[in-house]
Amino acid sequence: MEKISRSMKENQVTVQLLCAGCDDIIVRPMRLGVKEQVDCLVVYIESAVSNMMLEDSVIGKLLNHLWELDEEEIRRAVEENGLGISDVKELETMEECMAALLAGNAIFFLDGYERALKIGSKGYPDMGVVKADSEKVLRGSKEAFSESAKVNTALVRKRIRTTDLKVEELFVGQQSNTLIALVYMENLAYPNLLAEIKERIGKVPIDSVLDSGIVEQLTADTWYSPFPQFQTTERPDRAAAAVLEGRILLLCDNTPVSLLLPTTMNSLLQTGDDYYGHFEIASLLRCLRYLAVFLAFSLPGLYLAVTGFHPQILPTNLILSMAQARRGVPFPAMVEVLLLEISFELMREAGLRMPGPIGDMIGIVGGLIIGQAAVTANLISPIIVIIDALTALGSFSIPNEELSEAFRLLKYGMIFLCGFFGLYGFVVGWLLLLIHLAGLRSFGIPYLMPFAAVGKDGISRWTDGLLRAPMRRLNRRPVYARRDRRKK
């Protein structure tokens, strides 16, 4: 690592070589002091540090003050930080200077001084704090995370005002040097869990990390599983609540999507406002979400199994109605289901990629027109439209998008199992799913907690599982927190 020279001219040459071809990086030499006898150098990114000489900027105040001093007073002021300027840090190597510069700070070199000063600035432009769109709630905060990890840590600290809340910063990506912030409660989180997370992040073999999803894929326990082993959220209030349970929040710069770990399937089926309303309503909504999982995963396959292999379990009138609806349809039932399911996926993808109002119109009008036209043309039966519509509603009702995508993918496996083997395939499909979920772990926590491995928790957590107990009964933290800090 190249040390910073006492000669400002040597430092200037080194900086210009490192920043050659970077027209957005400003290298500005100046002379300070009452007689302008001291050379200095300020290096900054133009879009990240603007209006540097304004009096209300940190570096502007520093330079304005140094212009009024003589040569010895300038060096003494810099060495002793007599100005008391906040967010100023001494750097000893040129590598540290480049890292600080590319993070959006200004770097100050002084002739005769063998260190550089990192001076904080407003940083790169971002969207700021916006309203949460993907995790809408009827009650609770409407704030969402921004694309700046620094802003996001402030949003969490605004809700947890204690020094027990710790923030550790790491840099990931050999070329991008992306800032990763780990936020946790020191008195609640397991130290070995924190050490394991740092070790996995440190081993990420990649040039750039442009989104938290890259970190998620490279650090997951079971990389081939479609089920999310990290919980994603854009809501600071939900992230703060998870941190208070002993979980660790991972904030990635340049993305508003944060990661919570460890996680369980039960946590993925909860929403932020489950704790803001009455426990009866919250319990009902949780039961509906588990019903939505059943519909999203197995309803089309169950229809194929019953109508193709076991119609005798249906009432006679219903069988006759289904037979009448399918009269004239040229395709087998499995082909009908697959055609309509693929059509729904195409409409969903088109609505997602098109601009806002047009995308909404495609999803609604396209579904109505295509479904009605297909029924009128006798390509599919009306019952298939109802089945696939209920399946789509089930997948949309799952609050976590990644969990919903996993069940939407596995749904096709269930369709083939039931289409070829009937109810036997239906049972096998559910057994394979449960076996896979039972084997999943998120940083040592069983994925099916609190319905499985209850002994690992030391107590039964049915008070906050499928049903939510009254708030006064929620007096213990879940398995994420240290065992000796479970009681609130």
For residues 106 and 122, what is the distance between their CA atoms, to the nearest angstrom? 10
Other C-beta atoms lying within 10 Å of the C-beta of residue 378: 13
Whether the link from the prior residue into 450 is cis, omega within 30° of 0, is yes
Task: With beta carbons less than 8 A apart as the criterion, state whether 386 and 326 touch.
Answer: no
Instruction: Please tell me the predicted confidence (pLDDT) of residue 79.
Output: 66
Task: With beta carbons less than 8 A apart as the criterion, state whether 342 and 335 touch.
Answer: no
Task: With beta carbons less than 8 A apart as the criterion, state whether 53 and 63 touch.
Answer: yes
Instruction: Please tell me the predicted confidence (pLDDT) of residue 53.
Output: 44
Task: Please state at what angle helix 333-353 crosses helix 279-309, rounded to 10 degrees.
Answer: 140
For residues 123 and 327, what is the distance between their CA atoms, to the nearest angstrom? 66
Mean pLDDT of the residues in the chain: 83
52 pLDDT more than 80: no
pLDDT band at 359 (very low <50, low <70, confident <90, very high): low
pLDDT band at 61 (very low <50, low <70, confident <90, very high): low
Q: In what order do the strands lie in the sheet with 116-119?
A: 25-32, 38-45, 106-110, 116-119, 88-91
For residues 437 and 302, what is the distance between their CA atoms, to the nearest angstrom? 21
Q: Which of 275, 226, 227, 268 is nearest to 247 (CA)?
A: 268
283 pLDDT more than 50: yes
| Mean predicted confidence (pLDDT) in 149-160 | 89
125 pLDDT more than 70: no
Whole-number percent of the chain with pLDDT over 90: 27
Instruction: Please tell me the predicted confidence (pLDDT) of residue 456.
Output: 54
Highest mean pLDDT among 124-133, 166-175, 320-329, 435-444: 435-444
Q: Which of 488, 481, 458, 453 is nearest to 191 (CA)?
A: 481
pLDDT band at 259 (very low <50, low <70, confident <90, very high): very high
Task: Please state at what angle helix 356-376 crosses helix 382-397, rounded to 10 degrees.
Answer: 150
Task: With beta carbons less than 8 A apart as the criterion, state whether 305 and 333 touch.
Answer: no
398 pLDDT more than 50: yes
- 142-151, 225-234, 362-371, 465-474: which has the minimum mean pLDDT? 362-371
| Mean predicted confidence (pLDDT) in 153-174 | 88
Output the CA–CA distances (angstroms, integers) from residue 308 to 126, 323, 380, in the order listed.
56, 11, 16
| Mean predicted confidence (pLDDT) in 446-459 | 71
